[in-house]
A and B are shown apart, each in its own frame.
Chain A
Amino acid sequence: MKHRALLIVAGLVGAGTLAVSLSVAAAGTSRPAAPAKAAAYPAPKVPNAAAIKAKYHGQKITFVGDSVGNGHVRDLALAKRFTKDTGIKVNVVPHPAASDQAYSDLVRNFSQKSSSIDVAMIDVVWPGAFAPYLVDLKPKLGKQSKIHAPGIVAADTVGGKLVAMPWFGDFGLLYYRTDLLTKYGYSKPPTSWSQLFAMAKKIQTGEQKSNPSFYGFVFQGNAYEGLTCNALEWIASAGGGHYIDNGKASINNSKAQTILDAMRAQIGKITPRGVTSYQEDQTEHAFDNGDAAFARNWPYQYGIGATAGSKVKGKFSVAPLPHGANGKSVATVGGWQLAVSKYSKHKDATIEFVRYMTSKPVEKFDAITNSNVPTIPSLAKDKQVYKTNPYLKPATASVARVARPSKFLKTHYNEASKAIFQGINQILNGTPAKSVLPALQSKLNTILKEK
C-alpha cells in the first residue's frame, strides 16, 4: 500500500506523544505546586494536641474538602499538620468543582447512610438540606462558635441544632478600574445601579475605540447558582425582597420587575452579549485582561488581579455593590462550612478536626495563604490578614449581608435555586420580567409546599 509508510508514521507520532507526555509528567512534581506564600506562613499547630492524641490516636477520618486547586493544597497542608500533631489520619478528598455536583454527591452519600465521609465542606445554603444527616455541634463546639460572625452561625443553626461550623466566608463585591474612573472624570465609584450604567456606558464608548472587546460591566449571568447570588443583590438592593420572605415566595413584585428589566436592557449594550454564559472565571478573565470597567465577583478575584504581572495590578479597587432606587447596598453571603456526618464512625475525632480547622489561627492561615474571607470578625483587624485581603476594609466588609432562602427550602433548595436561575437567565436573554416572574413565584410556592 502506498500510504502504509504514512500510516506507520502516524502511529509512531501518536505513540511518541504519549511517551513524551508521560515522561514530562514523570519529570515534574506529582503534586500541584504550593503557592510561595504558604512556605512563608506555616500551618498552625494543634492546641491541646497531646490530649487529643491520647484519646483518638490512630483513627482514620475522611474529609471532603475544597476542589482541586489552591483550596485543595491548603486542605492538604492543614490535614498534614493535624495528623502530625494528633496521630489522627485525615484522608482529604477534593469535591467536584461545580457546586451543584458537589451537592448531588453529598445527597447520594447521605441517602445511602454511608460512613465513608466523616466531615464535609458544605455551602452556606446547604445546612437546611442536610440537617437531618448532620451531628449537632453545639455541645462540643458551641463555645467556639461564639467567636464567629453571628449571621453565619445563625445560617448554620437549623431547628436549634448547630449543624455546621463556619469556615470561610464570601460576599459579593464591585470591582472597578480606578485609572479609568479618573480618566473619564469620576471621583468615586457608583452608588446606584443607574449611576453604574451611565458610568459604564461612557467609559465603554471611550475605550472601545482602541479596544473593541472592552465592555462596561461584567458579572455572572449563566444559568447556575452564581446567578441566584448576583440577582439577589440586584433585587434586594432595590427593595424587591429575597425571592422568598417569611416562608412565601415574594419575587413577583414591581420593584423586582423594574430592576430585572433594567438589567435585561443592558445585555449586549454595556455588557458583552455572552455575559449570560459567564461564570466567575469569565468575569475574572475579562476584568483582569483589562476588558471591563466594572465587575461583580467574589473576594477571590482580588488576589489574582493583584499578583505581579497582572495587567490591572495597582489599577483597581473594590467598593460595595450599587443599590436600586431608594434601596441600600447589599452583598450575597457565600462561603463554606464544615459539617460532621451522623453516620460517621469517628464522630469525636472528627469534631476535634473541625475544632482545629475553624479556630482563629487556622482561619488566619487560610486568609493569608488563600485570600479566603475569615468568618471570625476580629481577624479582619489583624494587620497581616488585612494586608493580603484589602477588601476587608470597613466600607466593603460592613455592607449588609443577604442570604439566599435556603432556610425555608431545606432539602429542596437546589430545585428552587434552579427555578430561580433559569427564570432570571431567561429574562436576561430577552424575555420581559412580567412574563417570567408570576410563573416563577408559583413554582417557588409549590416547592415550598413539598415535604
Chain B
Amino acid sequence: MSSVATPAPVSGRRRRRTKLQRRQSRLAWLLLLPALAVVAFVAIYPLGKTVYQSFTNQEFLAGITPTKWVGLENYRTLWHDTLFRNSVIETVKFTLITVSFEFVLGLVIALVVNSSFKGRGLMRAVMLVPWAIPTVVAAKMWQWMLDDVFGVVNDIGVRTGILSHPHAWISDPATALASVCAVDIWKTTPFVALLLLAGLQVIPRDLYEAADVDGAGPVQQFFRITLPLLRPAILVVLIFRTLDALRVFDVFYVFFGQRPDTQTMAIYNQSTIVGDGHVGYGAAISVAIFLIISLFVVIYVTFVRVTDE
C-alpha cells in the first residue's frame, strides 16, 4: 500500500494527535458523510426496520386490525415452514451446481484464452457480452430456446439424434433445476473466466519456463505453479459467485413464477411479502435469509484464514 499525505506517527513519539491530524480526520469524515448517509438511509435503517417488523404481525391489507408485537411467533412458524425449508434446499442446490460448473468451466476457458493469439482481445470482449445482458432478458431468450414444442434446443437435439423426442425442460421437475442452472452458467461462466484470466496474467512467464527446463509436464505445472498463484483470484471469485447464487431471483421468476417445487429463498420471500401481504412474517424470512448468507460468509472467511498458513 502506498503511503498517504499525512505524516505517520513514528514509534517513540508521543501518541498525541497533532492539530493537522485532527483536521485531516475531520475533513475525512466530512467527505465520507454523503456516502455514509446514503448507506445508513437505504441499507442500515431498512435492515433495522425489517428486524423490528419480524417481531410483529404486520400485514399490507390490515384493514382495521392494528399491528402488534408477537415476539418470536413468526420465527416459530418459520421453523416448521416446509415451503421455506424446501426453498433453502433448492437455493443451496442451485448454488452448489452453478458455482462448481462455472468455476471449472471458467478455469478451463481462462487457460485456453490465456495464450496469446490473434483476436484475443476480441475473444475477451465476446466473453463479456453474456454478462452485460440483463438477467431477465437472458432468461427470456433461454425460455424461448428451451420451449418444449418450438424450442431450438429440442430441435437440435432431435436432429442430431441426442434426444429421441422433444423434452419439456422447464416443466419436467427432473430437468427444471438443470434448465435454470444452464442459463446462469451461460451468463456467468465467461465472466468467471475473465476474472481468472486476469489472475493468470499476473503469474510471471519465467516460472513456467523454468519448470519446462526442469522437465515438469503441463499437468504438474498446473498444480504446482498455476493453482497456488491463482489462489487469491479463485477465492474472490468463489465467494462472490456463491453469494450471488444464494440471492438468485430473476431467472427463477421468469422461468417458474410461483411454481412450488422450484422456489428459491428470494422468490419465497418476495411472494410472501408482495403476494400474500404478510409483512411481519416476510420480514422474519428476510432476517433468516440474511443470517444464512452471513453464515456462508463466516464459513468462507474461516476457511481462508485456516488454509492461509
Contact = CB atoms under 8 A, between A and B. Distances in A.
Do A and B come into direct contact in the complex, CB within 8 Å?
yes
Interface of A: 1-3, 6-7, 100, 104, 107-108, 110-111, 129, 132, 212-213, 222-224, 268, 272-277, 286, 291, 411-412, 414-415, 418, 421-423, 425-426, 429-430, 451
Given A132-B63, A223-B260, A274 B275 contact: no
B118 A2 contact: yes
B258 A429 contact: no
11 contacts: A100-B258, A104-B274, A107-B61, A108-B60, A129-B61, A268-B168, A274-B149, A274-B172, A415-B278, A422-B258, A425-B260
Nearest to B166: A213
Contacts of B165: 212
Interface in B243-277: 256-261, 271, 274-277
A274 B61 contact: no
Given A213-B149, A273-B168, A274-B170, A411 B63 contact: yes
Contacts of A212: 165
B148 A414 contact: no
Interface string B110-143: 0000000011011001000000000000000000
Contacts of B259: 222-223, 422, 425
Contacts of B148: 272-274, 277
Contacts of A418: 258, 271, 275-276
B257 A223 contact: yes
B149 A273 contact: no
A273 B167 contact: yes
Contact of A276 (B63, B171, B271, B276): B171
A104 B61 contact: no
Nearest to B262: A223
Interface string B132-165: 0000000000000001110000000000000001
A175 B61 CA distance: 39
Contacts of A3: 119, 121-122
A411 B256 CA distance: 25
A398 to B, nearest CB: 34
A426 B168 CA distance: 16
A422 to B, nearest CB: 4
A430 B168 contact: no
B171 A274 contact: yes
A224 B119 contact: no
Contact of B168 (A129, A224, A277, A414): A277
Nearest to B167: A273
Task: Tell me the dominant secondary structure on chain B's binding face.
Answer: loop
Given A277-B168, A418-B276, A430 B260 contact: no
B260 A423 contact: yes
B173 interface: yes
Contacts of A451: 63, 65
Q: Lowest 10 A-B CB distances belong to which pairs?
A: A274-B148, A274-B168, A422-B260, A273-B168, A223-B259, A277-B171, A415-B276, A274-B171, A411-B61, A276-B171
Contacts, number: 89
Contacts of B275: 100, 104, 414-415, 418
A422 B276 CA distance: 14
A43 B63 CA distance: 39
Interface of B: 60-63, 65, 118-119, 121-122, 125, 147-149, 165-168, 170-173, 256-261, 271, 274-278
A104 B61 CA distance: 10
Interface centre among B119, B172, B173, B256 (most CB of A within 10 A): B172
Contacts of B172: 273-274, 429
A222 B149 contact: no
A403 B261 CA distance: 27
A273 B121 contact: no
A260 B125 CA distance: 52
Contacts of A1: 121
B60 A275 contact: no
A224 B170 CA distance: 15
Contacts of B121: 1, 3
A111 B61 contact: yes
Interface centre among A1, A277, A286 (most CB of B within 10 A): A277
Contacts of A213: 149, 166
A268 B171 CA distance: 11
A272 B168 contact: yes
Contacts of B256: 223
Given A212-B165, A272-B148, A223 B258 contact: yes
Contacts of B119: 3
A112 B205 CA distance: 64
A87 to B, nearest CB: 35
Contacts of A104: 274-275
A24 B274 CA distance: 38
Interface centre among B63, B65, B259 (most CB of A within 10 A): B259
A295 to B, nearest CB: 14
A430 B277 CA distance: 30
Nearest to B147: A274
Nearest to A279: B257
A450 to B, nearest CB: 9
A173 B122 CA distance: 55
Given A104-B274, A277-B170, A429-B173, 7 more contacts: A1-B121, A107-B277, A108-B60, A224-B257, A272-B149, A414-B277, A418-B275
